Structure formats: structure tokens, C-alpha cells
Structure 1
Amino acid sequence: MALEDAKTQVDTAFTRPERRGLAYENAFGGAVSFLRRTYTKDLSGVDLAVTGVPFDQAVTHRAGTRFGPRAIREASTLQPYDPPFGWGYDPLSELSVVDYGDVAFDYAKVSEFPAALHAHIKGILEAGAGSLVLGGDHYITLPILQAHAEKFGPLRVIQFDAHSDLWPDDDLSRIDHGTMMYKAVKQGFVDAKNSVQIGIRTECEAYHGFTVIDAPSVHRLGPEAVAARVKEIIGAAPCYLTFDIDALDPAFAPGTGTPVWGGLASWQVAAILRGLAGINLTGGDVVEVSPPYDPTAITAVAGAHVAMELLCLYGWTRRKG
């Protein structure tokens, strides 16, 4: 297939004959799925299931990330024409990747949401697929980590973020995007001593064992050195990567709930992520994309590119070639 196939390809989220391969449907038309992958609830033979979590009821400031999954999917329609630049392989052709749709939950029963999301991710993992999650606010990472830890044991985590999300909170009934990593550590889902936070630029009382490579350090050391340090910390053990879009400077991602200046540039993030090739990634997420605060949609574009890089990282150790 080639670009001229755009004149016959349409609604490939539902009509494509197979799950592997690039897609040439016009970016401006058709049913929108992530990277034009097939929408399906059938996970037979699937390597990676992309799923949306349109939840933003745990925010401390500006809401709007419930629209993040939809916006990231739309932005991703610019990407499925070619293999991702700089990786040297085509994960969309080598892996079976599907769009699993969104998690179902009752927005008026917020207390029931964690269990609903946990069950949703657990079902994906039990089917033998990995999960790539489009958020949603950062609270969603807690039930996701729980499901992953139940399968893989305590996880080593790579967290890109402006905030540590480690503020003390021992009330398990609270649902807060600023305390989810604290709870993940306290509940044993995360191996903090072999985990790392990148891009931090807000104060934190205690990091509970995490290695922190704050934003000024990234600027000073450079992406290659940061990636090498992260790989030293993570090693070969199963790990999870969570990417809060506010790790990027607001100049590159203004559409987020709690923007902080002095953040990472998109080129730095791209270089770091590509430098992590070879890590034993079990899954990942992109969170805190809030389209109402970005009429240009550049935040969603950044989110879609990060998600593609996570897909590439997941596929790197599972390549067929």
C-alpha cells in the first residue's frame, strides 16, 4: 500500500482487513482510532492494546483531561503513514496493536472508578497483551500499577513529570492525582529504590527512594546521559513508564491542568525515550492532556508522539525481525 491508497481507504478503524501495517487514510477524515488501529474487544493474538481513560475527577486545579484520549487519538492520525522516525523498525507492521476503546465507568460514582479501571487493565493483561493507556488525569496510574504489579510483581517505574505525586496521603479512599505515586509505593506496587522521576521542578517533602533527575539536571546533562542513567537504575527488570504531559515545558504543552515553567523540550523527551530502547517495558501511559486549555492542539500532538514512542519501546524487545 502507498499514499495513493488514501482514495480508497476510509474508516480503517473498522474496515482494515488485518491488524498489522501502516495506514494511508486521509488524516482529516474517517473514524478516529489511535494510529488508525482496529477498534476491537477481541484481544486474541494482540501484542499491545491501546485504551483510553477519560477520567479527570481527581484533579487539584483545572479539569479537562477527560477529553485527552479523544484528542490524542485525533492527533495520532498524522502518524500512521510511515515508520516512526529514528527507530529503524516499523512497530505497526511487526506488532499486533489494536485500539481497545475506553474504560466504562459511572461518572457519578467516583468511588467505584478505581476498581473499574483496575479490572479493565487486568483483563487486558490476562489476555496476554500489554497496555498503553491514554488519560485522563494522573490518578489513573494507581489502579493501572496495581494490575501490573499483580502480574509482574513490584514494578520499577520511569515517571516523566513536573511533580513527584508523592505528597503524603494515607487515606486509601481519597482519589487525588497528586498523591497516587505515594500510595503506589506504600501499597507495594512500585519498587521505588529502582525507579526514577524525570523533569521534576516542584518541591517535595520526601521522594521515598526514587532517584530524581530534575528538569535543571536534564538541561545540564543532556538526553543521552539521562537515558544512560535511567537504564542503569531500571536494569533488566519489568518496568512501567508513566508520562505526565506537564513534564514538557508549557511552551510545548500548554494544555494541561498544572503547568510549570522550566520544563523539558520536546526534542529532549524524544531523545531520552529513544535512548531507553531495550528496557523491559510492561506498559505505559500518557496523562494530563487537557484540550480545553490548548486551542492549537499542540499538547495532544505531543501526547500522540509520546504514545508512539512508548509503543516503539514496548515493541523493541518483542521485534519479529
Structure 2
Amino acid sequence: MNSSWDSGFQGKPGQGMSHSPSFGGAASFFRTPYQATLNDVDIAVTGVPLDFATTNRSGARLGPRAIRNASLSLAWERPWPWTQDPLIALRVIDYGDCEPPNGNLLSVSHIESHIANIVNSGTATLILGGDHFISYPSLRAHAAVHGPISLIHFDAHTDTWPSESNDINHGTMFYHASREGIVVPASSTQIGIRTTNEDTQGFHIVSAADVHQLSGKNIASQILERTKDCPVYITVDIDCLDPAYAPGTGTPVPGGLSTFQLLNIIRELKGVNLVGMDIVEVAPAYDHAEITALAAAQIAIELLCLYAENHR
């Protein structure tokens, strides 16, 4: 390979995993090519570096950058135990970050417009957050194309606490989404929950304690039984993981999942009608040795594996 060749700038979608040294070159997601157009693209990976909707520690605005950086050390071979390289099976690009108009950091409407531009082109999304509120405008954009969405939601928190209609909060957006009909609670599942919220809004809940008692196959079976053929959006709040596996997050809660448990559930979801994905709440200022960012990058690439499996 030419020593001056950098796949982040000069590569093509579908090029597969990269063998470039992890310590140099463009920090694109898994060294996929940066591209500003959506022609002949299956998946656009995009960052949403926003964290003003947090209620505890801020810092998730740096999450997209941290996930991209961590992904470089994982980008040398297809993820185990999948049988195909998702970066060969799919034409994946790094679409850069969603930036607020005119530097207005308090704007959120631009997020929905940014995601709508991707989805309306026929391209699927993998979104790197950012705090979890970003899932709300993303779901609005997806529902406008695919209809009401079934949510597979990995989190320590339900994020369905009741609120006023005009607030912005990373713990209330799925309350609004269900009330607006964007998300269908009856066909949705929340996994890893270990905080108290008496009103589940009708979501099926698999608590963290349940995950520790059940197999990944059993949990996936529960999820698939509910989603059936409905369009599905998978959202992963990294605080679903126990702080031992993800210390770099804004609202850590002890007693969570291991990285393996979460990945094992994803690996058993073959057949799900996946239309969109996100991974959120990575706050690198609280991370150690990139533990959290590496977990997020691994989860993200395996979500692409799942998408590729279902779009052969």
C-alpha cells in the first residue's frame, strides 16, 4: 500500500477493514471514507456532538470524536464472531458531524433536518452521540419515512419521565416520542433498566437483573416476538453498561450489563427490521484507557454487522 494513501480521505465505500496503523491518519469511523454526498451509500455514520440536555455530568459532546478515535484500533479485521465484514457487505461512509446553524448551540431542529436528509435519500443511519436527547429528533426523521417505530433501547434509565411539552431533557424524550406516536411502546423493549420509574408508558422492560439471569438468546427472543416485522430503531445509551465497563458517561449506575452481555443480545437479533441506530452518552473526560469509547466503537460496528446480516 502506498504510504501516502489514507482511507479516510481517499478510500471508497465498501473497501473493507483497514490495515493502516491505528496511530496515524484521518480519524474517521473505522477508517471509512469521509464523504459529503449520499450517492450509492448504504449507511451514513454521523456524529451529533450535543450535550446540553444532560441532567448530571456534561461532556458527551466529545463522544463522537472519542468513538472515532477508539475505532481505529479495532479497524483491522472483521468483528468476531460475524461471518462477513460489514464494511465490505455495506457501502459505509463517515458523513461527518451535524453542526448547529450559525453556531447556535441551543438549536435542535437542525438535528432532525440533518437526519431527514440522510433517511430521505434511502440511506440508513448510525449516529454517534452526544447525549441521549438526540434520539428524539432522529426518531422523528425516521418515523416520517418508515412510519411509527419499534424501539430497542439499551439503558440504565427508561427516559420516559413525564414532562412539559417544550422541555429538552435526556430523560424525557421517549415519553414525548410515545405520546406523539413516533414510537410504539407495545412493540418496543428497554433492556438494562435499573432505575425507578413507576410509569413504563407500556414499554416492555428487561431489567439489568433480568439480563444477569437470562441468556442473550432468551432476551432477543422476547424482543423479536414484540417487534415482528415493524421498522426498528436501536438506541444504545452506554450507561446501560456497568460503570466497570463504561466509566466515561454522565449518569453511571452500578449493577449494569457487561460489554459481552450487551453484544451477545445484539448478535441474537438477526432478522430484526433495522432502519436506524445510535450510540450515545460517551463522555470521554470521565473515561480511563478508552474503556468506554472502545466499548461504544465495538457496539457500533456490531450494529453494522447486524444491519448487514439482515440486508444480504
TM-score range with shorter-chain normalisation? over 0.9
Pick the aligned partner of 1:242 from 218, 235, 239.
Answer: 235
2:174 is matched with which residue? 181
2:129 is matched with which residue? 135
SS in 2 for 1:308: helix
Identity across the alignment (%): 46
SS in 2 for 1:197: strand
- Quick one: distance in 1 between partners of 2:215 and 2:265? 9
Deviation at 1:204, TM superposition (A): 0.4
1:123 is matched with which residue? 117
2:143 is matched with which residue? 149
Asked if 1:216 corresponds to 2:209, the answer is yes
Asked if 1:14 corresponds to 2:9, the answer is yes
2:97 is matched with which residue? 102
State how 1:187-226 maps to structure 2 within 5 Å: 187-226=180-219
- Quickly say closer, same or farther: Cα 1:9–1:97, change in 2 above 3 A: farther
Deviation at 1:12, TM superposition (A): 1.5
TM, length-normalised to structure 2 = 0.97
Deviation at 1:25, TM superposition (A): 0.9
Q: Which amino acid aligns with 1:130?
A: A
Deviation string 1:222-270 (CA, Å, 9 cap, x unpaired) is 2221111111111121100000000000000000000000000111111
- Quickly say closer, same or farther: Cα 1:17–1:279, change in 2 above 3 A: closer
- Quick one: distance in 2 between partners of 1:107 and 1:290? 25
Contact kept, 8 Å, 2:246 with 2:292, in 1: the verdict is: yes
Deviation at 1:74, TM superposition (A): 0.5
Q: Which amino acid aligns with 1:168?
A: P
Contact kept, 8 Å, 1:9 with 1:24, in 2: the verdict is: no
Asked if 1:24 corresponds to 2:30, the answer is no
Contact kept, 8 Å, 1:9 with 1:25, in 2: the verdict is: no
Pick the aligned partner of 1:169 from 163, 178, 198.
Answer: 163
Deviation at 1:298, TM superposition (A): 0.5
Deviation string 1:75-116 (CA, Å, 9 cap, x unpaired) is 111222111111111111111000000001059635422x10
- Quick one: distance in 1 between partners of 2:13 and 2:199? 49
Q: Which amino acid aligns with 1:317?
A: N
Deviation string 1:170-226 (CA, Å, 9 cap, x unpaired) is 32x211001011111111110111100000000002011100000000101122211
SS in 1 for 2:107: helix
Deviation at 1:9, TM superposition (A): 6.0
- Quick one: distance in 2 between partners of 1:210 and 1:31? 41
Deviation at 1:297, TM superposition (A): 1.0
SS in 1 for 2:193: coil
Asked if 1:50 corresponds to 2:45, the answer is yes
Deviation at 1:163, TM superposition (A): 0.2
Deviation at 1:317, TM superposition (A): 1.6
- Quickly say closer, same or farther: Cα 1:192–1:18, change in 2 above 3 A: closer
SS in 2 for 1:169: coil
TM, length-normalised to structure 1 = 0.94
Contact kept, 8 Å, 1:135 with 1:286, in 2: the verdict is: yes
- Quick one: distance in 1 between partners of 2:59 and 2:101? 17
Number of residue-to-residue matches in the alignment: 312
- Quick one: distance in 2 between partners of 1:18 and 1:48? 9
- Quick one: distance in 1 between partners of 2:5 and 2:156? 39
- Quick one: distance in 1 between partners of 2:273 and 2:52? 32
Deviation at 1:141, TM superposition (A): 0.3
Deviation at 1:17, TM superposition (A): 4.8
Contact kept, 8 Å, 1:194 with 1:210, in 2: the verdict is: yes
- Quick one: distance in 2 between partners of 1:174 and 1:299? 29
SS in 2 for 1:38: coil
Q: Which amino acid aligns with 2:87?
A: L
1:70 is matched with which residue? 65
Pick the aligned partner of 1:267 from 256, 260, 269.
Answer: 260
- Quick one: distance in 1 between partners of 2:101 and 2:193? 33
- Quick one: distance in 2 between partners of 1:131 and 1:9? 30
